[in-house]
Amino acid sequence: MKRLYCGGRFYFDCRKDQYEIQAAEDYRSKLLGGVDKMLHGRGELVINDDMSYIGPYYFETEDMAADDIVAIELDMIDRCTDAVFVLDEADCPGTITELLYAATKRKQIYIFYKEYPHHDETESELHTPCWFPIHATMKLANVAIYSYDDYSLLAQLISDKIMQ
C-alpha cells in the first residue's frame, strides 16, 4: 500500500475564531473526507484500497518547540512512499524544505503548482514563482508536475491524477 504525505501551506490559524470553516477548504480535508480527520487525525488513514494518508495533520500548538514540529514532519516524509506538494504563491519555506527533503529521499513526488499568466516574467516555462524548487526537485527524484487554476478543485485534481 502506498503511503501519502501532502505538503503545502495551511491557510488557517487555529487561534482564530471559526478556523474550522477555512480548514474545511484545505485540499487535505477534502482528500480525507472531512475537516475533523485533518485537524484531529493521527497515524495512518486509509483513503482507498491502494493508498493511505500519513500526514501532515494540523497538530501544531503554541507550546510545541520548533524542533518537535520539524522532527514529526520529517518522520512522516521518511515513512511515506509518495508525496504531494502544492506550490502556489511564492510558497512558504517549510513546504519548499519538505519538498527538497522528500526528493533527496527519492520519494515519488507529485507537484501541483499554480500557473500564473504567461505575460508574468519568469525564468521557466512553468510561469510560477516556485519554478526554481520545481526544477531542482526534477534533478533529484521522480516527479510528476501538474498546474492548476482553482484551489477549490485541487483535491479532485489530485484524486484524478494519483489515486486511481
pLDDT digits over 16-72, tens only? Answer: 788 888 889 999 999 999 998 888 777 899 999 999 999 888 766 667 788 888 998
Strand order in the sheet with 143-148: 45-48, 51-55, 2-7, 82-87, 108-114, 143-148
Higher per-residue pLDDT: 66 or 103: 103
Decide if 24 is inside a domain: yes
Residue 3 lies in a domain: no
| CATH number of the domain enclosing 115 | 3.40.50
Residue 40 lies in a domain: yes
Residue 60 has a pLDDT of: 66
Judge whether 74 lies within some domain: yes
For residue 91, pLDDT beyond 80: no
Are the C-beta atoms of residues 55 and 69 closer than 8 Å to each other?
Answer: no
pTM: 0.90
Q: Is position 4 within any domain? A: no
| Total domains in the fold of the chain | 1
112, pLDDT greater than 90: yes
pLDDT at 126: 86
Asked whether residue 1 is assigned to any structural domain, the reply reads no
Instruction: Count the residues in the chain.
Output: 164
Radius of gyration of the chain (CA): 15
Range of 61's domain?
9-162
First to last CA, the chain: 13
Q: Does position 105 have pLDDT exceeding 90, yes or no?
A: yes
CB 53 within 8 A of CB 4: yes
Q: Is residue 47 part of a domain?
A: yes
CB 44 within 8 A of CB 51: no
154 within domain boundaries: yes
